[in-house]
Structures are given as C-alpha cells and as structure tokens.
Amino acid sequence: MVQHDILFTRHPANPILTAKDWPYSINSVFNAGATLLPDKSTLLLCRVEDRRGHSHLCAARSVNGVDGWQIDGKPTLPADPEKYPEELWGIEDPRITFVPELQKYAVAYTSYSRGGPGVSLALTKDFHTYERFGVIMSPDDKDAALLPRRINGFWALIHRPMTPLGAHIWISYSPDLRHWGGHKLMLEARRGAWWDANKIGMSPPPIETPRGWLMIYHGVRRTPSSSIYRLGLALFDLEQPEKCLVRGDSWMFAPEADYERHGDVQDVVFPCGYTVGADGDTINLYYGAADSSIALAHGSIRCLLAWLDANGHSEQANDRRQRQT
Ligand code: BMA
C-alpha cells in the first residue's frame, strides 16, 4: 500500500540511455541538461564520463524524447583545458536555459579545476558551436542555472557555493553575464535529522509558473555508509526570486528503482533538465540514476503546486520552526 503522494511516474523504458547506447567508448552517461528544439524534438546534453574518469558533454536528440536517440559521434562539448585551464579534470552536470532576449541557449556547467569545481557558462544557438564565458563562479561552486529573463534589468544565476558551514542555494546578479554581484542566500539546507540537512543544490533550472519559480532541488542525506540524493520542492517570488514563498517538508522523489539504487554511486536521482509537454502542464524530468544512466519520469506542474500547498510551509514559518530545533 502506498500512502504518500506519487508526483513523478517512472517511464517503463527506464533507463532510457546507458553507456551501451554510446557510439564511442565511455564509462557512463548521466545528469543531462534538456530542452525542446524549435522542431519540438528533445535535446539532451548528457554528462559523459570517459574511461579516465573525466567528463565531457555530448548531445542526444530524439523526436519523442523517449527513444530513437541520435547521439553525436564524438564529444559535443569536450573539456578544453588548453584554453580553459579550469576544465582540467572535465566538465559536468549542464543546465540549459533558453534565453529569448538573446535567442540563444545558456548552458551552465561545472568545470572541474585544480582549485575545485566551479561554475562555467557557455552560449549556443545550435548545440554545435559554443561561445565560452569561462568561470563565472569560483570554486567550490556548482548546480547552477541562468534564469531565462532579466530580473529588474539584471541577469540572475542560481548556484550552490560550498562552505564549511554547509552547502546552500544562492542567487547572484549580473549586468552582462560576466560580472556577478548582489549575491543573496536563496534556500538554506536544513539541519539535524532532516532529509535535506547540511547539503542541498538546485537540480534542473526552475520552472516559471504564474505563481512563482518552482524549484526542484536535491537534498543529500549523509549516512554512516554513503549518501542518499533525494528531491524536494520550493516556490520563489517571480520578481524577487531570492524570496522563498513555500517549501515542502518531505522529499517527493527518491531512489527506489534498481537502476537508481545501484551503479557507480548508489542511491542517486539527479535531474539536470526537463521539457514541458504541449499541454503546458506535463513535465518530463530527465535524471541521472546512480551516476550510471539517464532515466525519465513524468509529472504535472499543477500537481506539484497543489502538493506544495498541501505539504509546504512559508519560509517565515520554517524559520520559526528551525529556531525551535
Ligand atoms: C554531486 C554532483 C553530481 C553527482 C552526485 C552524486 O555532488 O557532483 O554530479 O551525480 O554528486 O555522485
């Protein structure tokens, strides 16, 4: 008997992409950014780990977003440590945002430098050629995505700097995508026994809804034997995105299937992208499973918001409750 709400339903064909599908030799494929192309086909920009342990990005395209993937025959965006030394140990976990003002896709990704992982940005029109901006958030920082439009005249980047006091979600602003400031704490990891204690990060880019930016974020529960990556929900003000309106208490998606529980890193579900169906409500969530494959689950934006209404609290209420713990 299931007594909790099921917000995302796994596709029966899961995992939809694995190393065996790749046209060249790799170790694993996971954590893919996603977008719909102008012809309504789906593009996944996949994190591919080679057999040295370094990652690059490779595009896979499909008409229905489920199967028939056309995978680039070589890395689409290889690390380029000659020109970009911060990419020495590879590039990981891309998040794609289509930016109407630029008529380009912004890809925020982790560049793994000698100084730790940082956030890099590239713009592309076609996922064939890229304009690289280099590191825009210095290490240790990851889990970043650009918002699709300016907020009060400034570009906005959500990201996750790491500190000895915890890993929380921040938002920063820029007039030109190169110089960043106005840093604000957006969502804090909880503490103690919570599923999202100490370390959280944004998963895919936030979903713009009439009620606010809807964020799917991951919470990392450290256990004596390993870590569990689960997903929660929070909603932020449209014009002041650092303001959290409501945050869910419990997680809403967690590793359960065998391909999520077992792999190179056990117990990980890690979405970096989604597409929205023609109905404007269906969300197709693409997630890395156990750092080994790519899986797909379907949900409804309306149901996610209704779940938050029923299961969430405002940040003021959460602050009060935190102080009591
Ligand atoms: C996080 C990220 C992800 C990875 C996850 C689980 O820190 O680096 O790339 O999927 O760990 O290993």
What size, in residues, is the chain?
325
Is residue 93 in contact with ligand 1, taking CB distance under 6 Å? yes
198 CA to centre of ligand 1 in angstroms: 15
Positive or negative, the CA dihedral 230, 148, 138, 44 is: positive
Atom 12, ligand 1: which residue's CA is nearest?
265
Q: Residue 286 is encoded by which pair of tokens?
A: 């693409």
**Which of 291, 292, 293, 294, when mutated, tests ligand 1's pocket best, judged by the most ligand atoms within 8 Å of its CB?**
291
Report the nearest atom of ligand 1 relative to the CA of 265.
12
Beta strands at 312-313 and 244-248: parallel, antiparallel or unpaired: antiparallel
> Which residues, in sequence order, are bridge partners of residue 193?
none
**Rounded mean pLDDT, 52-57:** 98
Q: Which residue has the least CA distance to atom 1 on ligand 1?
A: 270
| d(CA 117, ligand 1 centre) in Å | 11
Cα 99 to ligand 1 centre (Å): 26
CA of 93 to the centre of ligand 1 (A): 8
Strand partners, 47: 30, 57
* Tens of pLDDT, residues 231-282: 999 999 999 999 999 999 999 999 999 999 999 999 999 999 999 999 999 9
265 lines ligand 1 (CB under 6 A): yes
Q: Are strands 141-146 and 155-163 parallel, antiparallel or unpaired?
A: antiparallel
Beta carbon of 293 within 6 Å of any ligand 1 atom: no
Distance CA 240, CA 243 (A): 6
What letter does residue 321 receive in the DSSP assignment?
H
Phi-psi region of 22 (alpha: psi -120 to 50; beta: other; left: phi over 0): beta
For residue 136, pLDDT beyond 90:
yes
Section 155-180 average pLDDT = 97
Does the Cβ of 260 fall within 6 Å of ligand 1? no
Q: How far away, in angstroms, is 144 Cα from ligand 1 center?
A: 13
Distance CA 187, CA 190 (A): 9
Query: 109 CB contacts (<8 Å, ≥6 apart)?
Result: 33, 57, 91, 92, 93, 94, 95, 119, 120, 121, 122, 144
pLDDT tens per residue, range 315-324: 766 666 666 6
Pairing of strands 169-174, 155-163: antiparallel
pTM of the predicted protein model: 0.96
Indicate the top mutation candidate among 47, 93, 260 to test ligand 1's pocket, ranked by most ligand atoms within 8 A of CB.
93
Q: What was the pLDDT predicted at 10?
A: 98
Closest residue CA from atom 4 of ligand 1: 291
Nearest residue (by CA) to ligand 1, atom 2, is 93
Neighbours of 279 (CB within 10 A): 9
Q: Give the percent of the chain with pLDDT over 70.
A: 96
Decide if pLDDT at 121 tops 60: yes
